[in-house]
Amino acid sequence: MEQVYYLERGSSGCRQISLKTKLFEQRVIYLDEPVDSTTVNQAVQQFTLLAALDGKQPITLVINSPGGSIRDGLVLIDVMRSFSGPVRTVSLGIAASMAAVILAAGTRGQRFITPHSQVMLHQPLLAGGLPGGSCSEVESVARSLMERKQELDDLLVRFTGRPKQEIRRLTAKDTYLKADQAIRHGLVDAVAEGELLYDLMGGALV
């Protein structure tokens, strides 16, 4: 996604700075692209630096993503969960697939969703369809997918506090949840709008 820049005036003159950089200075990280090695590596680097600067102050992760790689998403979750301070997550628009799990991985009580945002859950998908080859190879791929599904379901049970059977129903097919439904199923804790949303997104500090 193309960066947006503006001129910031200071005592030593003007400097060109990207909006994401300015928001990062206020401890706000944006995940607004598919979850892959590039976006996750960037987010991990930002988390690591912010944790080194201050390990107790909150970090806010604003999510508007269709999801993507399970492997890369789990890397980001591991980093988020290792941070000693609170990680506030905000669904802004859509948190789908792996992005929904990342949303739920935020600190309990500090996971938010905007009024018209959606959360989408489903089973792991096989990119490119079933591979060619022997039956045993196809069986191995299917087994790996089922193991991934079990892993993600177990994480959602842990993050939401909801029964495993409820989570299995939600991930059995493409399930789109409105804000109140996402709250009811424990994926987020509250709706963010008005001044609260403005503050979470770093607007009051820019």
Active site residues: 97, 122
CA 156 to chain centre: 13
Interatomic CA distance for residues 89 and 141, integer angstroms: 33
Contacts of 53 (CB under 8 A, 6+ apart): none
Contacts of 115 (CB under 8 A, 6+ apart): 179, 191, 193
Q: Answer yes or no: are the C-beta atoms of 123 and 144 closer than 8 Å.
A: no
Greatest extent of the chain over all pairs of C-alpha atoms, in Å? 69
Q: Which of 30, 11, 12 is nearest to 21 (CA)?
A: 30
**Which tokens sit at 72?**
């890369």
CB-based contacts of 52-56 (< 8 A; 24+ apart in sequence): 54/85, 55/83, 55/84, 55/85, 56/84, 56/85
Distance CA 34, CA 11 (A): 39
